[in-house]
Chain A
Amino acid sequence: MATAPRAAVLGPQPGRISLGPGLEALDLPPGPVAAITVGWRETEPVLKEVEQELGQCGREAAPLHIGERVGRVFERDAPLAEAHRALQEGLLAEERLYGARLRRAVETAHEVVRLSVAERYRDPYAAQAWQAILDADRFHVARHAELWQEFREAVGLAERPAIRAEKEELERLLAGAAAVVLTGGHVAVIRNRLLLLGLADALAPLPVLAWSAGAMVLTPRVVLFHDRLPGGAARPEILGDGLSLLPGIALFPDAAIRLDLGDRQSLAELSGRVDPDRAVLLDAGDMVHWDGRAWSAPDGIRLLSGDGEVETVPSFVPRAARAGSLADGAAT
């Protein structure tokens, strides 16, 4: 599995985008920086902001216009658009089924922990209940990847002229770029578009500057989370495998806003569900750096420990990758 040679992962960019420190940390060779802004559906002025910010840092932006390209693909290739729409329906159904299974598994695990019985009686059941959560996650990730794989094979995705035309153009732009920037936005849209165009291999050699949703899709596993939705906390769910270009981490941007950092049991579950990857918490102003061997940050990296504590470490080397990761298949 290829990983980015160097990467800077920024904290959320709630106001004006600031790329200077990240570009400085990457110490890039000359050349334009490819920009992926599809997370905001390219309808918002984020691309202009990225271009301006890169310009102020003496860099030319090479916008990839992923959203427009996918729109063109679907216009040219109606059967593919229809098959893709059917895939989305399948993925939605899969998510609902996973959600139902996961809800029961989490409720059971919490109930077992709450029961007032001696640990020696409770622990075997707690272990079983925990395993049920992990099983739900793993089965969902596997089913999600299977649905994608069925779609690829059914339509012969890589060979479709509309896809090939856009992909070749994108590969040319990426080959001439010094780095790639991925903004935040809708994490499922970014992931979906990158998988559809099969861009993992073309992205792999490039230094990465990314944040929030754009960075999440490059990790081994994408986790959806929000403890403070107005309609009530959402139970964390695995969206699916990421592209695994940023190794050994699962990202939790806007942690101070989106996570209940006082709920140690839930945080411990979150940490355990992304194991062996480390749960990295990021807030505005943060930056973590990948040098090809280890993750580090000048002010330390905030991680969730196995018991749900937030610990700060100066650096860490990723643990062994998850066996049988589906990301390779999903990203081809």
Chain B
Amino acid sequence: MSAASELAIQELLLSGPTGEAVDAFIEAHDFPIREGPHTTFVYRGEATSVLLGHWLFGTSAAREMERVPDSDLWFLTLDLPAESRVEYRFQRVRGADAEWILDPLNERTVRDPFGVWSVCHGEGYERPEWTEDDPQVGRGELSVTHVRSRALGTRPVSVYTPFGFRNRRRYPLLVVLDGEDYLRHAACRTVLDNLIHRREIPPLIAAFVTPEKRIREYADNPAHAAFLTSDLVSHLQTEFPIRLRPDDRGLVGAGLGAVAALTAAWRYPGFFGKLLLSSGSFTFTDVGPSTRTALLDPVVDFVNAYRADPRRVSSRVFVSCGIYEPLIYENRSLVPLLRESGMEVRYVEAPDGHNWENWRDRLRVGLSWLFPGPLWLYYR
């Protein structure tokens, strides 16, 4: 007997399922059904066809599900590597109507700037405890300051000051692009609270910056780079006790935000001593035409230029990417160039997609590598 035929869905199929058997099957399982490396997605309802839409690069983005004969039960079994996280929806087709829906049998969902998704956790994945609120941990404060910029106008910036903040001390500065999304979808405030409490990173000040016109500002925009390195940091230095050394200054971005971070560092080499680049949209065309939107042409031009002339723009760069992302190729291609330029680079891949929870889950290793805390000085 093969492994697949031992799966719960195969047992149901072999039993010649009746309506009652399907009811019992639904009652007996949590969905999707996780059986070792096999994950079975299940939908129950009348439809012409049902597709599983997901973010697994390297396989069809929408996979047709199979109907259990003479029933309204649909299923698809995928093999997922251990500790995978997959965000998905079902496309239910009824005649000419097709509709993307959440998995009604799975309560686990995640919200990102593009909406709500069902989430499947592969074998061994647990949400890291350091991403969850801990009542024992002192909470940092968030306040809003307004930064004036000739090029970008006045921008509200959320500033995190750590628990136990004292004006007499000086703190490292972390600038976080797509700041509101990092706070809302990547639990960044909680993560900072927890990592500081554990002494895995030092107490620091974080500025959460949110774009108004994201693609225009983040696609290698000189005005945005000037805003970050001049208007923003100058303003913060007058308002908060921030250390002045570049090694005490970090810039964080994900997706196009990672492009904005690297381009700012490229335009002002050495200004930010630490970069955290998650799933950067580092599209290039020097080995063939890009299929992406023309709005991203400045990104392509930048990455092509960087590939031709890789430069040391920072001292430490943390790069991460999900293995289910289409951007995995671009990120893997970038890493050796960053290293060649003389920067210290750490690269991490995760069995996850292009999403905020992936970026959230990489914050611990990334931040504690870029800004090591005093943990190794403490002996309890």
Contact = CB atoms under 8 A, between A and B. Distances in A.
A185 B367 CA distance: 23
A216 B331 CA distance: 44
A224 interface: yes
Nearest to B374: A186
**Interface-central residue, B346, B364, B375, B380, by most chain A CB under 10 Å:** B380
A213 B377 CA distance: 8
A230 B378 CA distance: 15
A187 interface: yes
A275 interface: no
Closest 6 CB pairs of A and B: A231-B369, A231-B368, A212-B379, A226-B376, A213-B379, A230-B368
Given A12-B380, A187-B379, A189-B377, 16 more contacts: A13-B380, A14-B380, A184-B378, A185-B380, A186-B377, A213-B379, A216-B379, A226-B376, A229-B375, A230-B200, A231-B365, A231-B368, A232-B346, A232-B365, A234-B372, A234-B376
A185 B379 contact: yes
B21 to A, nearest CB: 47
26 contacts: A13-B380, A184-B378, A184-B379, A185-B378, A186-B377, A187-B378, A189-B377, A213-B379, A213-B380, A216-B379, A224-B376, A226-B375, A226-B376, A229-B372, A229-B375, A229-B376, A230-B200, A230-B365, A230-B368, A231-B365, A231-B367, A231-B369, A231-B370, A231-B372, A232-B365, A234-B372
A13 B379 CA distance: 9
A38 to B, nearest CB: 13
Interface of B: 200, 346, 364-365, 367-370, 372, 374-380
Given A231-B200, A231-B365, A234-B372, A224 B380 contact: no
Interface string A225-238: 11001111010000
Contacts of A253: 379-380
Contacts of B372: 229, 231, 234
A323 to B, nearest CB: 28
Contacts of B377: 186-189, 224
B375 A186 contact: no
Nearest to A15: B380
Contacts of B368: 229-231
B369 A186 contact: no
A332 B365 CA distance: 41
A210 B375 CA distance: 20
Nearest to B378: A186
Contacts of A12: 379-380
A232 B376 contact: no
A60 interface: no
Contacts, number: 54
B97 to A, nearest CB: 48
* Interface SS of chain B: helix
Contacts of B376: 224-226, 229, 234
Interface in A226-264: 226, 229-232, 234, 253-254
Contacts of B200: 229-231
Interface in A167-214: 184-189, 212-213
A66 to B, nearest CB: 17
Contacts of B378: 184-187, 213
A321 to B, nearest CB: 23
Nearest to A232: B369
Contacts of B379: 12, 184-185, 187, 212-213, 216, 253-254
Contacts of A254: 379-380
A13 B378 CA distance: 12
B318 to A, nearest CB: 9
A306 B293 CA distance: 62
Most buried by B among A13, A216, A230: A230
Interface centre among A189, A225, A226, A231 (most CB of B within 10 A): A231
Q: Which residue among B200, B368, B376 has the maximum number of chain A CB atoms within 10 Å of its CB?
A: B376
A281 to B, nearest CB: 13
A226 B200 CA distance: 12
Contact of A230 (B364, B374, B380): B364
Contacts of B365: 230-232
B368 to A, nearest CB: 4
Nearest to B376: A226
Interface in A99-128: none
A12 B380 CA distance: 6
Nearest to B201: A231
A229 B195 CA distance: 12
A213 B374 CA distance: 13
Contacts of A234: 372, 376
Interface string A265-304: 0000000000000000000000000000000000000000
Nearest to B369: A231
A253 B368 CA distance: 22
Contacts of A225: 376
A187 B380 CA distance: 10
A140 B190 CA distance: 38
A8 B370 CA distance: 39
A189 B378 CA distance: 10
Contacts of A226: 375-376
A229 B200 CA distance: 8
Contacts of A231: 200, 365, 367-370, 372
B191 to A, nearest CB: 12
Contacts of B375: 226, 229
A21 B364 CA distance: 39
Nearest to B372: A231
A189 B199 CA distance: 15
Interface string A294-323: 000000000000000000000000000000
A209 B379 CA distance: 15
B342 to A, nearest CB: 14
Nearest to B198: A230
Contacts of A187: 377-379
A12 B375 CA distance: 15
A187 B375 CA distance: 11
Nearest to A188: B377
